[in-house]
Amino acid sequence: MPTWFSVANLALLVSVAAGIYVLVLLWPEHLRLRQGVLVKSACFSRQRLPLVDLAQVNFHYDAVVGFSCVWEFVAFDGQVLSLASWRINRRFVRHLQTWLPGFDAEVFHRAFAAGDVVDSLDVWRAPTTLLQPDVSVCRHIDAGEPDADGNPEYHYEYDIYQFRHGELALFARSYRDTPDKAHLLNFERDGQVLAITQANLRQPLLLAAVSHLRGLGKTQIDFLGRHGYEALH
């Protein structure tokens, strides 16, 4: 009796494990945009990719037997976020048109219709030509309380530059007493502050901002990273 009971328990455990494995395989993957970050949810795991890090989007599909497809979101540093599906979700494609400047849903559908049974599409790439962002400058003065002689304890004058292209903005600061220096501070999208990292130093808006600042004679440019200001090479 104990032997049969053990065998029955083992068979039950194997069945449960197999069921969980199948559930993991079939669990649908979802991709959402939250505060400027692509978030992929797949069963019990999550993967994140900030939009400012996104370099290109590819689409692979196979329609030989049934249909399966994979979206690939590739970051500037080579990180890949992939999303597998058994169909083309038109609502998701419309979301991409909202999220990615220059992406056209109709152009994608036409390219897919003209493709082969098994094919890969180069769906979207971050602009390679230098952007022409909207640039605004605001002067700021930061001064302390005056001392006995009427002189402020400290006095700083600096300009805040805002570079904007679509929904994305980049901010930089330059002090008046060091006109050849500029500090890149952060990105902002839909009111959410996004950090500048090594992964997005090739982001088109950042490259355009650096070009503009250098054109103003600011030859020493750094950025505010996780560990303070880091030189921009």
Residue where a domain terminates, one of 125, 155, 180: 125
99-131 burial code (b ≥16 CB/10 A, e <16): bbbebeeeebeeebeeeeeeeebebbebeeeeb
Domain limit, last residue, from 125, 160, 184 = 125
Closest CA to 9 of 17, 120, 67: 17
Cβ(100)–Cβ(165) under 8 Å? no
Domain boundary among 91, 125, 159: 125
Which tens digit of pLDDT belongs to each residue from 71-80? 999 998 888 9
Confidence at residue 112, expressed as pLDDT on a 0 to 100 scale = 94
Q: What is the pLDDT of residues 23-65, one digit of tens each?
A: 344 456 888 888 788 998 876 778 888 888 899 999 999 998 8
Give yes or no: residues 53 and 111 share one domain: yes
- Domain identity same for 119 and 139: no
How far apart CA 162 and CA 143 sit, in angstroms, is 23
Do 179 and 201 share a domain, yes or no?
yes
Which CATH number belongs to the domain containing residue 52 in this structure? 2.30.29.30
Average pLDDT score over residue span 158-185: 95
Q: Does any domain span residue 2?
A: no
139 domain-assigned = yes
Q: Are residues 143 and 220 in the same domain?
A: yes
Residue numbers of the domain that contains 183: 134-231
Same domain, 46 and 120: yes
- Comparing CA positions, the residue from 101, 135, 127, 134 lying closest to residue 204 is 127
Q: Classify burial at 31, counting beta carbons within 10 Å of its beta carbon; exposed 0-12, middle 13-18, buried 19 or more.
A: buried
Domains of the chain: total: 2
Whether the model pTM is above 0.85: no
In this structure, the answer to whether residues 112 and 154 fall within a common structural domain is no
For residue 81, what are the contacts with CB-CB under 8 A and spacing of at least 6? 31, 38, 40, 47, 49, 72, 73, 75
Residues 41 and 118 in one domain: yes
Q: Do 154 and 210 belong together in one domain?
A: yes
Both tokens of 64, joined, read 């030989």
